[in-house]
Amino acid sequence: MKDTWSSLFTPDSVAIIGASASPGRPGHEIIRNLKANEYGGHIHLVNPKGGEILGLPVASAIDDLPDGIDQAVVIVSAAATVGVVRQLAAKGVNTFVLAAGGYSEVDEHGEELQHELERTIKELGVRAIGPNTSGHISTPHKFTSSFFPLGWIRPGNISYIAQTGNFATHTQRYITSGEHFGVARVVGLGNKIDMEESEVLEYLADDDATKAIFMYLESFKEPQKFLEVARRAAAKKPLFLLKGGTTSEGSQAAIAHTAALASDDRVVSAAMRQAGITQILDYSDLFQVAKALSFMPLPKGNRVSFMAPSGAMLVVLTDLCHQRLGLAVPDIEEANRQRLQAIGPDWLRMRNPVDIWGPAMVHGIEKSHREAIEAVMDDPNIDACIVVLVVVDEFGQTPLDFLVEMAHKYPDKPLYVTFSGIKERMEEAKAYLEPRGVPTYPFIEQPFEVLSVLNRARQSMARAQQRQRTR
């Protein structure tokens, strides 16, 4: 029999209780997702009507299933879930994904049902995600228990722990359709009657498929344990947290969502810093920061060079770096400044940040940008480079290959691209660059904000590693 984590993330067999022949129903979409991702294990379906669904035979009762199935996804009502879990445990199932809502997040009756379910899980000695979850994802195994219509899920190196089902549903759908990075593992914790964030974090910290871990949490089931696990994990890979329920109004919403008991924001923030976790404030950071880290390394420092086609942009973006983001925009060494000067017009003193408009008018977009990127990336005072690229039809076809070449030439320094110009051309440039490993952002401030978050993550990791060395 597999252990819990193997049964969860690398199951050789899965039972779907509540399988449905009706498209759009949860019990149907999970089967479609497994097929779309070419899951290679055995899929066992249960529905009282029996028959066949999407070419797979359907058992009419749990008793008809073989013994020892690795994992069961239970998509039945809250009231029926306890009985189903007991039947499956008797058949040797040891790992469950419990989809139903209607528990303590709803009312007192739901709370009683949840207590009964929790007691049953402990009594049987099995493990469970949920209830009130939309499931999880494990792309290295081509597996998902999500019942949202996801289709194919792009594999990648970013993992999520979420006290919400939406990361295995519509957010994942956006990442697959609107971005070009992929995920390794996604776990929707739901109401956390059994598996909780500390255990999943501990697993992902040692997971070779996971480069960085992003978390959305509304509460901490075992706060001290979580902090201890986070301290060890933060020394191994970057950890990010968006904490929900940080206001009194947000706390009430969290209770309605997953019956979470949200903690005081100031206490949480201080504890997270000490544990080596980088807090993020915006929901979109959960995928915008993840995109940068999926393609590029952590910056080795906070020193940035950027090039823009506008003096006004240079001014306001420099202010942004210094006033809000904790980024430095340093002078570069004179030899490298002279390299910039060589591509600029005589009347313009070239420096960091780089006014690229004049050089582009003289030498064209590719030569000017390529030589400017090389000059700043070669400089020991620079840790990362951001390019604001003009994309308009009047300048002809905007060259993009050189940006991919520059990213490969300087693999230790992040290179991000943002745009100004025609929206349609921006989208086309994104579609070209990101599959080739260069992250892009539609709004000019975004790559700077992302770099700031990643710089904080670098500092957090360094502190966590220092603590580990001194223990």
**Chain-centroid distance, C-alpha 158:** 5
**Chain-centroid distance, C-alpha 35:** 23
pLDDT the model gives residue 261? 40
Identity of the residue numbered 277: I
Residue 76 sits at φ, ψ, to 5 deg, of -130, 175
Q: Provide the β-strand partners of residue 59.
A: 46
Q: Where do we find the tokens 């670098």?
A: 458
| Per-domain residue ranges of the chain | 4-292, 297-458
Q: Say yes or no: do domains 4-292 and 297-458 share a fold.
A: yes
pLDDT the model gives residue 262? 46
Q: Hey, is 45 helix, strand or coil?
A: strand
DSSP codes of every residue in 232-281: HHHTTS-EEEEES--SHHHHHHHHHHH---PPPHHHHHHHHHHHTPEE--
Gyration radius from the chain CA atoms: 25
| Token digits of residue 180 | 């070009």
Whether the CB-CB separation of 84 and 17 falls below 8 Å is answered with yes
Which 8-state DSSP code applies to residue 395?
Answer: G
| Token digits of residue 314 | 């240079």
pLDDT the model gives residue 260? 44
Q: Output the CA–CA distances (angstroms, integers) from residue 13 to 8, 87, 98, in the order listed.
A: 10, 17, 17
Which CATH code, of 3.40.50.720, 3.40.50.620, 3.40.50.261, 1.10.730.10, is assigned to 297-458?
3.40.50.261
Q: Quick one: CATH architecture of 4-292?
A: 3-Layer(aba) Sandwich (3.40)
Pairwise CA distance, residues 424 & 203, whole Å: 42
Residue 263 sits at φ, ψ, to 5 deg, of -100, 165
* Residue-level pLDDT, tens digit, the chain, 471 residues: 789 999 999 999 999 999 999 999 999 999 999 999 999 999 999 999 999 999 999 999 999 999 999 999 999 999 999 999 999 999 999 999 999 888 878 788 888 999 999 999 999 999 999 999 999 999 999 999 999 999 999 999 999 999 977 888 999 999 999 999 999 999 999 999 999 999 999 999 999 999 999 999 999 999 999 999 999 999 999 999 999 866 555 445 544 444 444 456 777 888 999 999 999 999 999 999 999 999 999 999 999 999 999 999 999 999 999 999 999 999 999 999 999 999 999 999 999 999 999 999 999 999 999 999 999 999 999 999 999 999 999 888 899 999 999 999 999 999 999 999 999 999 999 999 999 999 999 999 999 999 999 999 999 999 999 988 887
Length of the chain in residues, anyone? Answer: 471
Whether the CB-CB separation of 128 and 95 falls below 8 Å is answered with yes
Identity of the residue numbered 96: F
pTM score, two decimals? 0.94
CA-wise closest residue to 204 among 9, 461, 400, 360: 9
Q: Hey, is 297 helix, strand or coil?
A: coil
Burial 338-374 (b: 16+ CB within 10 A, else e): ebbbebbeeeeebbbbbbbbbbbeebebeebbbbbbb
Q: Max alpha carbon distance in the chain (Å)?
A: 84
pLDDT the model gives residue 470? 83
